[in-house]
Amino acid sequence: MSTPIVRFAPSPTGRLHVGNVRTALMNALFAQAEQGTFILRIDDTDLERSTAEFEQGIKDDLSWLGVTWGRTFKQSERFGMYDAAAAKLKADGLLYACYETSDELDRQRKLLRVAGKPPVYNRAALELTDEQKSAYEAEGRTPHWRFKLSGGTVTWTDMVRGDQTIDMSSLSDPVLIRGDGSYLYTLPSVVDDIEAKITHVIRGEDHVTNSGAQIEIFRALSDHLPQFAHTPLLVGADGKSLSKRLGSLSMLELREQGIEPMSIASLLAKIGTSDSVEIRHSLEALASEFSFDKIGRAPARFDERDLTALNAKLLHETHYDAVADRVPGDAAFWNIVRANIEKISDVDDWADIVLKPMAGEIAEEDKDFCHAAADFLPDTVLPETWSELIGYLKTETGRKGKGLFMPLRLALTAQAHGPSMDDMLVLLGAEKAKARLHGETA
């Protein structure tokens, strides 16, 4: 295979969400696995809805995930190329002017449906004479432009879906240019894929039918034709579409919730594949395991609970050096508390308990017991001190199990759960531990 050139082509009309990030990752991981090039194309032909802020937001989100691009460009800077391609198609009789209003088209579709026929455009505009066209224009109508499909079949071997056949006669000729002169995504995308020599178009399966039309446009414009890979869409844990919930599943939102980039990347790269969902610590690791053959045909289930669990797993395995600038305390503190957090900000709660002055919780009936514990503690606590303390108190008081250790944990940390007390006692140090066991703020 020649070196792949792929592209991720978001529209800057919103922030990235788990759905389009999955497409971005599939492109990025494939490119990385094959030492190819990843292009970031900004699909901003919709000048009304596209904003510079969203474009920047998309770039920030990708960078945060660790996805880098070898080249980036915006469609809004390339109208000259699209106009030239449109002119060629017009000259070849493949792009034709239509004057129907949307009401007229609606009516036609309804009539076809009532007659039990598929609502395919009737190509009446192909029969218009120059006089009729001039008459429409004199009426103030501006044409929209449709691409003339072959009416035959288009076939390709999809890298995910296998052999595909689309019966083009069942489709309406697609509108490539609207009445106001603006481009729909279909033509600019093909023109850009030809110019950038894209070798693989990797995108969601909602584009399968578009691919039929786009393949015919590729053939009309050049000898270049990429391969296609259409990945199944994401659904929620309940099997239902995520479309209504995508706002809350934006990278921005998940990042604010404390989800780490590799938790998201690991989940999105593995769901819907034959690999099990496990944490990976780098995109390189995910890339080395990437294969289109592993992607199944069924929708990929995205469950936020998996994301939280993976995030906790990732943090439990994360070395101090990787988080040193984001957490309070030192390596010893991190190594002890990391197993008790789900997101990095949870570290702050443990920092408050270990590093800041506070009083623990001591029930009236446990006061003497805690005093005895304080008196037993040596001036320097070691990892074995906790078990020595427990052994001593067990013999002295006859307490056992929870009644033995829980009053101490509560007195020292004010929490019923947490890191092992052997470690916590060392982190707190003798002075603080004694004071807290005496009921003081320390």
Quick one: 5 or 433, whose CB is closer to ligand GLU? 5
Binding mask 203-232 for ligand GLU (x = CB under 6 A): x---x-------------------------
DSSP string, 169-195: GGSPPPEEE-TTSPBPSHHHHHHHHHH
Quick one: 164 or 415, whose CB is closer to ligand GLU? 164
Residue 32 CA to residue 197 CA, distance in Å, equals 17
Long-range residue pairs from 413-421, CB within 8 A, at least 24 positions apart, any chain: 413/353, 413/360, 414/353, 414/358, 414/359, 414/360, 414/361, 415/353, 417/340, 418/340, 418/350, 418/353, 419/336, 419/337, 419/339, 419/340, 419/350, 420/336, 421/386
Pairing state of beta strands 144-147 and 95-98? antiparallel
Smallest separation (angstroms) from ligand GLU to the CB of 47 = 14
Smallest separation (angstroms) from ligand GLU to the CB of 189 = 5
Smallest separation (angstroms) from ligand GLU to the CB of 9 = 4
For residue 354, give both structure tokens: 């270990």
Question: CB within 8 A of 423, min separation 6: which ones?
Answer: 336, 383
Quick one: 58 or 424, whose CB is closer to ligand GLU? 58
Smallest separation (angstroms) from ligand GLU to the CB of 48 = 15
Q: Which of residues 147-206 bind ligand GLU (CB under 6 A)?
A: 185, 189, 203
Tell me if 338 contacts ligand GLU by CB under 6 A.
no
Contact criterion met (CB below 8 Å) for 300 and 23: no
For residue 248, give both structure tokens: 């809350």
Smallest separation (angstroms) from ligand GLU to the CB of 206 = 8
CB hemisphere CA count around 332 (13 angstroms): 11
Query: How many binding residues for ligand GLU (CB under 6 A)?
Result: 8
DSSP string, 68-88: --SEEEEGGG-HHHHHHHHHH
Quick one: 189 or 318, whose CB is closer to ligand GLU? 189
Beta pairing partners, 288: none
Among the listed residues 17, 92, 103, 28, the one whose alpha carbon sits nearest the alpha carbon of residue 66: 28
- With CB under 6 A as the contact rule, the residue among 5, 11, 26, 38 that binds ligand GLU is 11
Nearest residue to ligand GLU by CB is: 43
Smallest separation (angstroms) from ligand GLU to the CB of 205 = 12
Smallest separation (angstroms) from ligand GLU to the CB of 27 = 9
Contact criterion met (CB below 8 Å) for 423 and 336: yes
Among the listed residues 91, 148, 104, 143, the one whose alpha carbon sits nearest the alpha carbon of residue 123: 148
Quick one: 39 or 393, whose CB is closer to ligand GLU? 39
Stretch that binds ligand GLU, among 5-13, 91-99, 122-130, 237-245 (CB under 6 A): 5-13
Residue 231 φ then ψ, to 5°: -95, 145
Quick one: 186 or 308, whose CB is closer to ligand GLU? 186
Quick one: 191 or 312, whose CB is closer to ligand GLU? 191
Stretch that binds ligand GLU, among 4-12, 66-74, 226-234, 253-261 (CB under 6 A): 4-12
For residue 403, give both structure tokens: 């009644």
Pairing state of beta strands 71-74 and 37-42? parallel
Residue 39 CA to residue 37 CA, distance in Å, equals 6
Smallest separation (angstroms) from ligand GLU to the CB of 226 = 10
Residue ranges in 115-232 assigned as alpha helix (H): 130-138, 186-195, 208-221
Stretch that binds ligand GLU, among 6-14, 247-255, 276-284, 371-379 (CB under 6 A): 6-14
Smallest separation (angstroms) from ligand GLU to the CB of 12 = 10
- With CB under 6 A as the contact rule, the residue among 5, 6, 9, 426 that binds ligand GLU is 9
Q: Which of residues 248-277 bind ligand GLU (CB under 6 A)?
A: none
Stretch that binds ligand GLU, among 9-17, 257-265, 280-288, 383-391 (CB under 6 A): 9-17
Quick one: 74 or 207, whose CB is closer to ligand GLU? 207
Q: Is 212 exposed, middle or buried (0-12, 13-18, 19+ CB in 10 A)?
A: buried
Quick one: 192 or 366, whose CB is closer to ligand GLU? 192
Residue 147 CA to residue 319 CA, distance in Å, equals 56
Radius of gyration, alpha carbons of the chain: 31
Q: Which of residues 34-63 bind ligand GLU (CB under 6 A)?
A: 43
Provide the binding-site residues for ligand GLU, judged by CB under 6 A: 9-11, 43, 185, 189, 203, 207
